[in-house]
Amino acid sequence: MKVFKNTWFGRFSRREKISAAALWDAVERANNGQIDADLGGGVIKQRIARSGEGKSKGYRSIVLFRKDELSFFVYGFSKSEIGNIRDDEEEQFKKMARQILSLTDAQLNELVANGQLEEVKNNG
């Protein structure tokens, strides 16, 4: 399993102090069938616990997801800031999933090398 975050989510996770362990926890829950919301087309919404609090008061993340293979954190928000994503945003994430989930290892490595993606290391 490889887990990545795009540039936007990287900034969001640094600003909100979301750890790699919290991201891996969200992916592992999804791999075990504990998906908070399956939006279809390889797009899921997963909760991420806020440090020192539970998942219900934490963050929501949009993840492009292929079980046991790839996960891409592409968008995140605090439940207190945004109730949910709009329908047009959901459609854009589905289009993005079709493209990103079909990339080869070489293409992924190139995106990491040029800074568009960052691999999230599992230190656990």
Report the pLDDT averaged over residues 3-19.
Answer: 95
Tokens of 100: 């990103």
Q: What angle (nearest 5°) sits at the alpha carbon of residue 25, between those of residues 117 and 79?
A: 80
Give residue 56's pLDDT.
59
Dmax over CA atoms of the chain, in Å, equals: 39
In this prediction, residue 13 has a pLDDT band, given cuts at 50, 70 and 90, of very high
| Alpha carbon distances (Å) from 90 to 43, 50, 59 | 8, 24, 17
Give residue 93's pLDDT.
96
What does the pLDDT look like over 51-88, one tens digit per residue? 766 555 789 999 999 999 999 999 999 877 777 889 99
Give residue 82's pLDDT.
75
Tokens of 118: 């960052």
- Which helix (H) or strand (E) element contains residue 77? strand 70-78
